[in-house]
Amino acid sequence: MKRFENKNVLVTGAGSGIGRAAAQRIAAEGGRVLCADINAKGIDAVVAEIAEAGGSAEAMVFDLSREGDAERSVAKVREWGQLDAVVNMAGILRFANAHETPLDVWQQIINVNLTGTFMLCKAALPSLIESKGALINAASTASLKGLPWGVAYGASKGGVLALTRSIAVEYAKRGVRANCVCPGDIQTGMVDGLAFPDDADFSLLSRITSLSGAKGPDVVAGVIAMLASDDGTHINGEEIRVDGGMLA
Ligand SMILES: NC(=O)c1ccc[n+]([C@@H]2O[C@H](COP(=O)([O-])OP(=O)(O)OC[C@H]3O[C@@H](n4cnc5c(N)ncnc54)[C@H](O)[C@@H]3O)[C@@H](O)[C@H]2O)c1
């Protein structure tokens, strides 16, 4: 399948995990991909892998939470032509008991996951109106159900879902589609490095564990590619859980 031939796609969080898998999938299907991430090493590696596989990609070091970086990333893609899709997967997670979550941790998570997503959507929308393009944001199972030890993360991802639905409704008549993926139990750097509170009640872990076992990021990349392509033409304002039945 070459669903992204002659299409330019911006992928954030492309240096690792789901963003990386999405960048590879879209490039494999013919898309030209701007791989944006705060982790320079990660995006250099993914761009090299895409080139080796015969695809087309460039790296941009980018901080989703920094004002101006979103415009810079959109402008870079516009040097190639139109911006056909934005896949916004950059995000952070820290666990802490709600009553012990430091304000600076709360603010950092909200700044990256929610305010950063808003800034990127704002910067990309004029170009997506022109291209009648697609926007895919990273929500979470935590957007839909309570996440123990994740008060800031859950609030940020609930916000991402609400923000995305607002955009879907506001821009539908102008041809833009905005959707979320809600991954759950995907084995990536984000979950590998997670530290739990010392007194964590591990019986609550079932709330963040899928019924069919953890899966790699490719299972989400396939859904993202569908949403970003013409296969998703009549899907707008949707949240698609990719969680192995966790919330079923
Ligand atoms: N893994 C899961 O089970 C899961 C579940 C629900 C939601 N998600 C969401 O999916 C998205 C991708 O997560 P992942 O599991 O691939 O994690 P990951 O840690 O492997 O990838 C996240 C990427 O975002 C980048 N990033 C972090 N802060 C950034 C910033 N300020 N600016 C630019 N880039 C930044 C990181 O460098 C990293 O490359 C995230 O938004 C995450 O919240 C993941």
User: In this prediction, what percent of the chain has a pLDDT beyond 90?
Assistant: 97
pLDDT above 90 for 206: no
- pLDDT in the model for residue 7: 98
Question: Alpha-carbon distance 32 to 30, whole Å?
Answer: 7
Ligand 1: which of 25, 117, 182, 188 to mutate, most ligand atoms within 8 Å of CB? 188
pLDDT above 80 for 1: no
CATH number where 176 lies: 3.40.50.720
Q: What is the 3-state secondary structure (H, E, C) of 185-196?
A: CECCHHHHCCCC
Question: Alpha-carbon distance 15 to 18, whole Å?
Answer: 9
Could you read off the pLDDT of 224-243 as tens digits, one per residue? 999 999 999 999 999 999 99
How many structural domains is the chain composed of? Answer: 1
pLDDT above 80 for 177: yes
Could you read off the pLDDT of 110-120 as tens digits, one per residue? 999 999 999 99
Say if CB 204 and CB 162 are below 8 A apart. no
CA 173 to ligand 1 center in whole angstroms: 31
> Any idea which residues carry the catalytic annotation?
153
Residue 96 lies in a domain: yes
Atom number in ligand 1 closest to CA 185:
3
Contacts 24+ apart (CB under 8 A), 103-110: 105/152, 106/151, 106/152, 108/65, 109/152, 109/153, 109/156, 110/152, 110/155, 110/156, 110/159
Atom number in ligand 1 closest to CA 142:
6
Domain that holds residue 119: 8-242
Band (pLDDT 50/70/90 cuts) for residue 207 is confident
Residue 128 lies in a domain: yes
Band (pLDDT 50/70/90 cuts) for residue 81 is very high
Determine which residue's CA is closest to atom 26 belonging to ligand 1.
90
Could you read off the pLDDT of 119-176 as tens digits, one per residue? 999 999 999 999 999 999 999 999 999 999 999 999 999 999 999 999 999 999 999 9
Token pair 């979103």 is found at 70
Who contacts 77 (Cβ-Cβ below 8 Å, separation ≥6)? 8, 9, 10, 34, 83, 127
Residue 248 lies in a domain: no
pLDDT above 80 for 202: yes
Question: Alpha-carbon distance 166 to 139, whole Å?
Answer: 14
Residue 247 lies in a domain: no
Residue 151 lies in a domain: yes
The secondary structure of residue 145, as a DSSP letter, is S
Band (pLDDT 50/70/90 cuts) for residue 196 is very high
Residue 1 lies in a domain: no
